[in-house]
Amino acid sequence: MSAGRQTSDKPVIALVVAMGENRAIGKGGDLPWHLRGDMRFFRKVTMGKPILMGRRTFNSLPGVLDGRLNIVLTRDSGFTVPEVVVAHSLEDGLAAAREDTARNGTDEIMIIGGEDVFREVLPQTGRIYLTEVHAAPEADTWFPKLDEAEWCEVSREQHEAGPQDDHSFSIVVLERILGSSA
């Protein structure tokens, strides 16, 4: 089966998400687990690429993530943070990310959360870097259900829980199948 890729003149919109077996992605403004191995993967896959996120996701971070253009979506017209591009619509955020990919020669726009941003951008998404956390924690934030007919698994790596991981996990790459809604 052929995986769906966007044309070469457009960067691929890619989601980067860690999700529990129950679709959990967050609790109380933070992740419901600690996975050092997934954090290393996240840094590797997003480095040098624009990252787009909602304001609550940004607030959950320790600060501006280095080596990446940080774009924060918010309705708050007074929200400003040094070294962060603030966007008041998904379209404006994606436009800033596209400018960054053109300027830096990268081919992906990385969407890193949260729930509302994932839901809004999903129809335009061409790739998902999904960390399947082998646990079903309590949560208050969820990843939207995917239509499995629209996605093809192109890789999977199993990871046993290391000394700094709460759970074992799998890193899965999904690509949208040609002809589906992206």
* Superfamily name with CATH number, domain 3-177: Dihydrofolate Reductase, subunit A (3.40.430.10)
User: What is the domain partition of the chain in residue ranges?
Assistant: 3-177
Q: What is the mean pLDDT of residues 32-43?
A: 96
pLDDT tens string 87-123: 999 999 999 999 999 999 999 999 999 999 999 999 9
Whole-prediction pTM value?
A: 0.92
Helix (H, G, I), strand (E, B) or coil at 11: coil
Question: Residue 83: is its pLDDT beyond 50?
Answer: yes
pLDDT for the residue 3: 41
Question: Residue 5: is its pLDDT beyond 80?
Answer: no
DSSP per-residue letters across 43-105? HHHHTTS-EEEEHHHHHHSSSPPTTS-EEEE-S-TT---TTEEEESSHHHHHHHHHHHHHHHT
pLDDT for the residue 178: 75
